[in-house]
Amino acid sequence: MADFDDRKNVKPTEGPANINALASLHFLLQEPDIVGVLPGLPAGLLPASALDDPLIVDVAAWVNLPPKNAIDKLSFQWRRQNTSNAFNTMQTYDVVGPLADSDFPMSFSIDAGKLDYEEGPFDFRYVVVGHNGGGESESNIVPLVIDRTPPYKHLKPSTLILPATQITIPFFEAHDNKFVCVIPEYADYQDGDEVVYFWRTRTGSQLIGRTPVATNREIIYTRAQIEAALNGECYAEYQLIDKAGNSSPLSESVPIEVDMAPRSLGYVKVTGASGSSQFGKLNIDSVGEGPGDGITVNIPPESDIYEGEKVLLQWADPLAFNAITLSSADPDAPLLFNVPRKNIAAHMVSSLADGARYIPVYYEVLDGSSSEVLATSGIYGLTLSDILATNYPTMQCSHVNGNILSLSSVPGSGAEVSIGVWPFMADDQYIKFKLVGLGQDGKNLEVVFFEHKVTAEEVADKKVSVTVAKEQFLKFKVGIDIYFEGQVTFNNKGYWYGFRALRANLTN
């Protein structure tokens, strides 16, 4: 594309083109393309921010371009729309040949000063006076619209129509957690108008949003936005911006009294836990063993939770293994939650990350329709004791009799080693078995012969068993005690707890 800044072929002239009004029109030229006009209606609207810059117009090639050293004169003209006025010339260029079709479209600039003090809709075209005898051709007309006047014509827009001048928690409960205001009707409304609206307190204004002016002219402040601001005297204010980008002053406003006591959310209470309101300790061995048993967590009834809101209970860090988010409370007691047994043992104190001494237990209050989190309670720190070592079962071996394991009694197929049910046994746990004693060389020897993820069938059978090949026993020194040891992990191998070991004297 040829550029208007390249003056090799285009030279602006000081006066209007010498156009013979009686000359015949040789050609109807392609319409000009005004660069930067906004899409949609009104067609041809220039952004207000562009009015101080030159007007850039692209022109297509016309018939009979000037050859070398010949000059065509190109003039841009305009007149007000819907008038019979003659066109006025804005700016004229000498277009010097040689030119070819490949030089087009060609850009021209019209001095910004030509638009000064002008406003409204115009007809815009260009006229070319040819080099071959003064024949004149004119282009199709396009609209050009200049808008310098903001809505309300530089006056402050009227005060928003408010649903109330006092905002309280009961107000939001009755109005879907929204404070809906209405922009008063205004005479110079146009399609494409936008509203920017603010919430002002004694510490300053907060931008809430920018949106097209709706058909019903409503703007919405949410409960969360108003709760996040200060109580006391507040103001809802707005500005109107038309499609061209002209902005009105900030609107008039009236005070709104916001009186919302901060939402109070008490700490959870864990049934059976001892300690303070913020920290507690629970003996895990006190948790019932039935399939419906677990740990009961209560949300204080005095907490500020309102009709239509939802509550989620968070048990342990959301990223921790076997953490759980509970959304279903007891239907008869909507502030009571039961943490299932399967989500408990992974959070015993020895299983926690290094340095941690408790798990977080808290709840979130959500908007009933959008599930937006409105508030979060403080964190209650709960320490779960480890299962007592004496509550773990003892390892078993099918060929140990009276704490003696006779190698002669072990068949070639091996011996069965097993463990019975243990507290909180579940199919997301791993176990491992090993033999510990002195090797044939008299040195300490440990043989891990089984590592396994517990299955649902084993949980139902309340037993895990494996056959140990006889050659595993032959690695140990005869006449010395060997130990059948086992371990279980409740948190995906993060920490291992020991079963009670079985001691047996190895004999021939």
Condensed to tens digits (0 to 9), the pLDDT of residues 280-326 reads 999 999 998 877 789 999 999 999 887 778 899 999 999 999 999 99
**CATH code linked to domain 152-258:** 2.60.40.10
Q: Are 476 and 438 in contact (CB under 8 A)?
A: yes
Q: Are strands 274-275 and 463-468 parallel, antiparallel or unpaired?
A: unpaired
Q: Where in the chain is the domain with CATH 2.60.40.10?
A: 10-148, 152-258, 390-507
pLDDT greater at residue 91 or residue 228: 91
* pTM exceeds 0.75 for this model: no
Mean pLDDT over 159-181 rounds to 90
Condensed to tens digits (0 to 9), the pLDDT of residues 377-391 reads 999 999 999 999 999
* Portion of the chain with pLDDT greater than 90, in percent: 77
* Residue linked to tokens 């929204």: 178
b/e for 249-264, b at 16 or more Cβ within 10 A? ebbebeebebebeeee
The CATH number for 269-386, chosen from 2.60.120, 3.30.310, 1.25.40, 2.60.40, is 2.60.40
Q: Can you identify the CATH homologous superfamily of domain 390-507?
A: Immunoglobulins (2.60.40.10)
pLDDT greater at residue 41 or residue 132: 41
b/e for 161-193, b at 16 or more Cβ within 10 A? ebeeeebebebbeeeebbbebebeebeeeeebb
| Least confident segment among 8-17, 78-87, 465-474 | 8-17
Is the model's pLDDT at 24 over the cut of 60? no
Q: How confident is the model at residue 445 (pLDDT cuts 50, 70, 90)?
A: very high
Nearest-angstrom CA–CA distance, 166 and 430? 60
The verdict on domain 10-148 having CATH code 2.60.40.10 is yes
pLDDT greater at residue 200 or residue 13: 200
Is the model's pLDDT at 3 over the cut of 70? no
Mean pLDDT over 239-247 rounds to 95
Q: How confident is the model at residue 1 (pLDDT cuts 50, 70, 90)?
A: very low
What pLDDT sits at residue 207?
A: 93
Q: What token pair was written down for 317?
A: 């860090």
* Residue linked to tokens 């916001």: 258
Q: What token pair was written down for 93?
A: 């260029």
What pLDDT sits at residue 20?
A: 43
Condensed to tens digits (0 to 9), the pLDDT of residues 335-355 reads 999 999 999 999 999 999 888
